[in-house]
């Protein structure tokens, strides 16, 4: 059985989710707890990219994410 990656599986307690807007270059970071609270522990990488909206330029769905 194949298991999908989720925030819960990918992020330990000290991990940080980093994000960068592909439109304006604005960068942000959330702790593991912040990411799970805002996006849900079962969010997949695709869910994260589609749901995020840049707080600087307002463009949604065009973000690069990494841990």
Task: Look over the chain and give the mean of its residue pLDDT values, rounded to a whole number.
Answer: 91
HEC string of the chain? CCCCCCHHHHCCCCCEEEEEECCCCCEEEEEHHHHHHHHCCCCCHHHHHHHCECCCCCCECCEEEEC
Nearest Cα residue to 38 out of 29, 57, 59? 29
Q: How confident is the model at residue 2 (pLDDT cuts 50, 70, 90)?
A: low
pLDDT of residue 1: 58
From the options 3.90.220, 3.40.50, 2.20.28, 1.20.120, give the CATH code of 7-66. 2.20.28
Q: How confident is the model at residue 23 (pLDDT cuts 50, 70, 90)?
A: very high
Q: Is the pLDDT of residue 52 over 70?
A: yes
Q: How confident is the model at residue 66 (pLDDT cuts 50, 70, 90)?
A: very high
């Amino acid at each position: 059985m194949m298991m999908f990656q989720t925030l819960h599986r990918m992020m330990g307690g000290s991990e940080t989710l980093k994000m960068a807007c592909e439109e304006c270059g604005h960068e942000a970071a959330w702790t593991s707890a912040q990411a799970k609270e805002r996006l849900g522990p079962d969010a997949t990488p695709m869910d994260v990219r589609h749901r995020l909206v840049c707080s600087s330029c307002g463009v949604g769905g065009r973000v690069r994410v990494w841990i």
